[in-house]
Structure 1
Amino acid sequence: MARATTCKEAIQKWEEANKKSAREAKEIYLGFQWLPIEKMDNSLAALISVEKLSLSTNMIEKISGISSLRNLKILSLGRNYIKTFSGLEAVGDRLEELWISYNLIEKLKGLNALKSLKVLYMSNNLVKDWNEFNRLQELPNLQDLLFTNNPLCDVMETEVWRAQVTRRLPALKKLDAIPIVRVGDE
């Protein structure tokens, strides 16, 4: 049986394809590896200059190996098997965008560590109750939220959903790719 691609192997492939060192690169795309990456590991620490890192469309179950990425601002982990936000604490003060749609997230515990987060794309996950959703109130800079196709919002009409969210997250500027217009904003 074939084994998964390691992060180290994916980085080497990226360097060969881009003909440059991954250490200096500001954007690194390690998504859609064949065979898929199953585990984020410490070889990601070599990406010392990376500002945008994509590991989308793999088979990753757990976030790890990114604590030393001092310049990381955008992390893309969509289309994996991630269940929790655990592992993001070390980048919480600088991560501005987290793209984590199409995963298996049901609970938002640990999200509060992301104090600089402005954009959260987490559609197509498993969040089903308002108690979990309300944890988003702990993100002081959140402006753009993509949350469609979570069980919580699928059970109500769009207008009701939008009204509930804007009441709970008054600083939000965009919900599900549509700008929020509040009375007095005209």
Structure 2
Amino acid sequence: MIDKIYGLSGMKNLRVLSLGRNYIKAISGLEGVSDTLEELWISYNLIEKLKGISVLKKLKVLYMSNNLVKDWVEFNRLADLPMLEDLLFAGNPLVESMEESIWRTEASKRLLPLKKLDGETVIREDADSQNQQGAGQADK
């Protein structure tokens, strides 16, 4: 079992890294693949803090369900990932502490590039569609 991420500096072309079901406690040691890594699969670990994730500017997919993230301060670090579009975060204490609809609304507000959250498409209502709906109702 792996408890720490290290030894990736020689993997300059790595695009997908799967480290699920280990004993990893921190997201660190990823600097060597920060320019290429697009997918990080790190579910079922012991991660509480997301410090260190911000180096992954090309990350599009992050599967980190069933870890130990419990507060929005840590979750908000994911906003530093400008290309993140697919996030699996179910099973973390933060998610389990609220209703699913509240979780989905809050998470998608904080991560604007997100297209998929916990396996489901993120649906956003933009201001134009809300205005059109309101105008249509006024005409009736």
Partners of 2:118 and 2:51 lie apart in 1 by 21
Contact 2:88 2:118 in 1 (8 A): yes
Percent identity for Structure 1 against Structure 2? 65
Please state how far the C-alpha of 1:65 moved relative to its aligned partner. Answer: 1.1
Q: How many Å apart are 1:102 and its aligned residue?
A: 0.1
Instruction: Give SS of 1:98's match.
Output: strand
Counterpart amino acid of residue 22 in structure 2: N
Structure 2 spans left out of the alignment, 5+ residues: 130-140
> TM-score scaled to structure 1, two decimals?
0.67
Distance 1:115 1:93 in 2: 7
> Which residue in 2 is equivalent to 1:105?
47
CA RMSD after TM alignment: 1.1
Task: Please tell me whether the aligned partners of residues 2 and 24 of structure 2 are also in contact (alpha carbons under 8 angstroms).
Answer: yes
Offset from partner CA, 1:6-27 (integer Å, 9 cap, x none): xxxxxxxxxxxxxxxxxxxxxx
* Residue of 118, 125, 144 corresponding to 2:60: 118
Q: Secondary structure at the match of 1:140?
A: coil
SS of the residue corresponding to residue 137 of structure 1 reads: helix
- Cα distance in 1 for partners of 2:113, 2:72 equals 18
**Partner of residue 71 from structure 2, selected from 116, 129, 152:** 129
What does the per-residue CA deviation read over 1:98-142, in whole Å, with 9 as the maximum and x for residues that have no partner? 000000000000000000000000000000000000000000000
Distance across 2 between alignment mates of 1:100 and 1:158: 22
Equivalent residue for 2:92, pick from 141, 150, 167: 150
Matched residue pairs, number? 127
Aligned to 1:82: 24
Deviation of 1:182 (Å)? 1.5
What is the TM-score of this pair, normalised by structure 2? 0.88
Deviation at 1:66, TM superposition (A): 1.2
Counterpart secondary structure, 1:135: helix
Q: How does 1:1-186 map to 2 (within 5 A)?
A: 59-184=1-126
Q: Are the equivalent residues in 1 in contact too, given 2:12–2:32 (CA < 8 A)?
A: no
Instruction: Determine which structure has greater relative contact order: mean sequence separation of CA pairs < 8 Å that are 6+ residues apart, divided by chain length.
Output: 2
Unaligned runs of 5+ in 1: 1-58
List 4+ stretches of structure 1 deviating above 2 A: none
Whichever structure has more helix as a proportion of its residues is 2
